[in-house]
Amino acid sequence: MADTPGKKSTQAMEFKKKLRQYFNRIEKEHEAKISQLKRSYDELKSLLEAQRLINSSLNLREVLEHSMQAVEEVVGVKWCIIFLIDKETDKLIPKVGKGYQKEGIKKRLKENVKESIYRVVRKREGLIVSSKEDLAHLKGETSPGSELAVPIIFQNQVMGAICLESERVNFFTSHHSKLLKDLASRMGIAIHNACLYEEARKLATVDPLTKLCTRQQFDKILKKELEKVKRYRMDLSLALVDANNLKYVNDHLGHNQGDYLLKEVARLLKRNVRSMDTVARYGGDEMAIVLPNTNAGQTKALVGRIRKAAEEWNRQAQDSPLSMNLSIGWTPVNGKMDLSEAVARADEKMYEDKRRQTH
């Protein structure tokens, strides 16, 4: 039986309806794909901008602060702490934090808090905590509802971890974790480069044996202090210290004992000066002390304290073959002196002290 005109019209309407639904679905899928592509593009753009920001400095503190800013821009959270592993103690140390008072960071260093971060470091994988109950111990200045932590890894070595918190429950997703891991890998490169730069800088400014300033760093510091003396007429003194018996120790007891004695002299000097003073290894068995804002009377008193400290060291080491025998020369420095003249005067006084001790 042939279809009636009414039936054909109904079929046509049904077809148009299905066709419209089909195109609507295709349009929505297309819009969703475009939206996803735009989000991916924006995220990639943010990551590239973050990488540029993170790599813009070789100063570790600046690298970490830039990293914090990048995390905030890419992930969009206001609470964040970056931990680095201390090479000597193997402990996680909080280096920078955003959104917390000091007490908040301290609370996150208690054992029950650190355990989650240490787990991230040990397992080398991210961790998402989505329950307020699981984060109740952190309640205080902040009341986090969820937490995300990922390790910072460079060349298969874990360097630290990033920990983010949000007040919203179930805020962090696997997508957030993926973004943060990407950021962390970029941070790892920048942190490694900053650490290498810092080590190179220390080699140029810190004597590896005694941990005192190098001769080059001493010269720079003394020149700056001499400029202050000339400009502001401030007091300044310079002292030179010689470990008299170092050659004997090296020749008869070995260089290990000689190195130990030098390190002990360095420690003794550091313990007896102020934080504003500079102690340097001037060369071989000689050390120098730059004493800003220090007049002749104060310098004489300091030298007396150093001599007494050396006597006490010898008393405590009386059963040891080592002894600490110091010659000390010092001079007030005025604005008419240059670096070489100031050092020459202190050196002359030191040799006078050495001659007195041998006669």
- Name the least confident of 77-86, 103-112, 263-272, 343-352: 103-112
For residue range 151-169, list pLDDT tens digits in order. 999 999 999 999 888 888 8
| pLDDT confidence band for 193 (50 / 70 / 90) | very high
- Name the least confident of 45-49, 112-116, 163-167, 213-217: 112-116
- Name the least confident of 173-177, 190-194, 208-212, 236-240: 173-177
Q: What pLDDT does 112 receive? A: 41
Q: What is the pTM of this model?
A: 0.61
Q: Please say whether the dihedral angle defined by the alpha carbons of residues 194, 195, 196 and 201, taken in this order, is positive or negative.
A: positive
Alpha carbon distance 183, 54 (integer Å): 10
Question: Residues with Cβ < 8 Å from 232, sequence gap 6 or more?
Answer: none
Please say if the pLDDT value at position 2 is more than 70: no
What is the mean pLDDT of the segment spanning 112-125? Answer: 75
**Torsion angle of alpha carbons 272, 278, 284, 286, nearest 10°?**
-60
Please say if the pLDDT value at position 107 is more than 80: no
Q: How much is the mean pLDDT over the chain?
A: 85
Percentage of residues of the chain with pLDDT beyond 70: 85
Structural domains of the chain sorted by starting position, each given as residue range(s) with its CATH number in brackets: 54-203 (3.30.450.40), 215-358 (3.30.70.270)
Percentage of residues of the chain with pLDDT beyond 90: 48
For residue range 288-330, list pLDDT tens digits in order. 999 999 999 999 999 999 999 999 999 998 888 999 999 999 9
Alpha carbon distance 6, 201 (integer Å): 90
Unique residue bearing structure tokens 């020149």: 223
Q: What pLDDT does 296 receive? A: 95
148: enclosing H helix or E strand: strand 146-154
CA distances from 232 to 39, 235, 335 (A): 60, 9, 9
DSSP code of residue 331? E
Q: What pLDDT does 153 receive? A: 94
